[in-house]
A = this chain, B = another copy of it.
Amino acid sequence: MAGCCNFSHLFRTKPGEPRPMWKKLSERIAYKGWRQIKVKQFELPDGKIAEFDILSSRSFVTVAAFTTGGELILIRQYRPGPERELLSFCEGAIDPGETPVQSAHRELLEETGYATEELIFLKKRYSAYTDQEQFFFLALNCRYQQAPEPDAGEFLSVELSPESHFRAMLRDADNDLFNNIDAAYLALDFISGRTTPPSKP
């Protein structure tokens, strides 16, 4: 990135010099349940050997969806991780053979019953200790098509929220109900015309 300055004492390189490398030595599945842990072994830049537990799962899509009336389509679900209810956008794993775009359309219809002809790719996100890619989409002018058909074990409540309420919730530091903060801001930023036009995912 232009305009950055490196603290070379940390990485033992000066700007422009080749960066010290991590070398992957091996990987193995250490746990395989509903989720999977992969242990990856690396030779670090200082020559030491280290192992890392990586959460290994299918990549997934997150869809910030708006109705033709400009309301946000939200999902309320009890979540077993924090053992509390959260609000989120429609979200789901990309099936084998599916493109992220196809997955976004399918998850939107399955979880909310809505469909769109205006699906916009917003960004891709990586996380340090998982091998999942998260694809953010914006779905505009969604129309209600059919009753949602969530997967077995999914107990969803679909809620529509006016944009002004949604923005207020997002910006309220004391509100920790909604968890797709990144997708929400990317979507609102795009709608406000402040985002660089995206290419394909």
Contact = CB atoms under 8 A, between A and B. Distances in A.
A155 to B, nearest CB: 5
Interface residues of A, number: 97
Contacts of A50: 153
Interface in A5-38: 5-7, 9-11, 13, 19-22, 24, 30-31, 33-35, 37
B34 A51 contact: yes
B2 A165 contact: yes
Contact of A159 (B5, B130, B156): B5
Nearest to A33: B53
Most buried by B among A173, A181, A185: A173
A128 B88 contact: yes
A164 B105 CA distance: 34
6 contacts: A1-B165, A4-B161, A86-B128, A121-B173, A125-B176, A182-B182
A13 to B, nearest CB: 8
Q: Quick one: copies of this chain in the complex?
A: 2
A81 B198 contact: no
A52 B181 CA distance: 24
Interface in A145-201: 147-148, 150, 152-153, 155-162, 165, 168-169, 171-177, 179, 181-182, 185-186, 189, 194-199
A3 B176 CA distance: 18
Contacts of A171: 189, 194-196
Contacts of A129: 35, 79-81
Nearest to A176: B124
A40 interface: yes
